[in-house]
Amino acid sequence: MSNFQRCQPAATGSACPEKGPALQLTPRHLELIRAAQQALHRATDQTSTTAERGAALVAWQAAAERLAVALVAYLESIEEARP
C-alpha cells in the first residue's frame, strides 16, 4: 500500500507523518486569489481585443506575483512560529 493510500483514511493519524497543520488562508489571500482569477479571465476572454488581453495578462502576472509573495511570507511566519 502506498503512503497516499494509507493517508487517505487516516488523514491526521500516524500513517501520515508528513501531514502538517492545514494552511488557513486569510481574507487577504482570498482577495488576492480572486483578483488573479478575474485578471486571468479577462486575459483569456475571446471577445476582448488584443490590446485588452495584453493589458489583462500584465494585470494577471502582477496579481499572481502579489499572491505568491503573500503566501510565501505567510508560510515563513508559520515556520518561524513552530517550536
Over the stretch 58-80, which tens digit does the pLDDT of each residue have?
999 999 999 999 999 998 988 88
| Count of other CB atoms within 10 angstroms of residue 34 | 12
Q: Is residue 13 part of a domain?
A: no
Q: Is residue 9 part of a domain?
A: no
Q: Could you give the CA distance from residue 32 to residue 35 in angstroms, rounded to a whole number?
A: 5
> Reduced to 3 DSSP states, what percent helix, strand and coil does the chain have, rounded to the nearest 5?
65, 0, 35
Q: How many domains does the chain have?
A: 1
Mean pLDDT of 21-33: 86
Q: In which domain, by residue range, is 76 found?
A: 21-81
Q: Is residue 7 part of a domain?
A: no
* 3-class SS string, 40-68: HHHHCCCCCCHHHHHHHHHHHHHHHHHHH
Q: What is the overall mean pLDDT for the chain?
A: 81
Q: Would you say residue 4 has pLDDT above 80?
A: no
Which grid cell sits at 6?
494509507
Q: Is residue 5 part of a domain?
A: no
Q: Would you say residue 30 has pLDDT above 60?
A: yes
Helix 27-43, helix 50-81: angle, nearest 10: 160
